Amino acid sequence: TLPMGIDFGKVPVGDQKTISVKLPNIGEARARMVGSLPAGTSFKLLDSSAEFNLGESGEIKVRYQPKAQ
């Protein structure tokens, strides 16, 4: 199953925290992940794309850096 949300915990303004999220390929062929986030948010995808084979897991890293309280 995929995570429905990512918990970064408490991150003070000006600090940042990066979390890796594993996504399994449970399909029937090679998988390709492509993603983006709107500019100006407190979140950033560090890995905007990945490819992985059937039965493997792909990993993306998401960084959270709060800009204001």
The residues, any chain, with a CB within 8 Å of residue 34's CB and separated by 6 or more, are 48, 49
CA distance 39 to 24: 27
CA distance 17 to 61: 10
pLDDT tens, residue by residue, 18-39: 998 888 888 888 888 887 888 8
Question: Residue 46 pLDDT > 80, yes or no?
Answer: yes
CA distance 19 to 43: 11
User: pTM value?
Assistant: 0.73
Which residue, 63, 34, 61, 39, is CA-closest to 50?
34
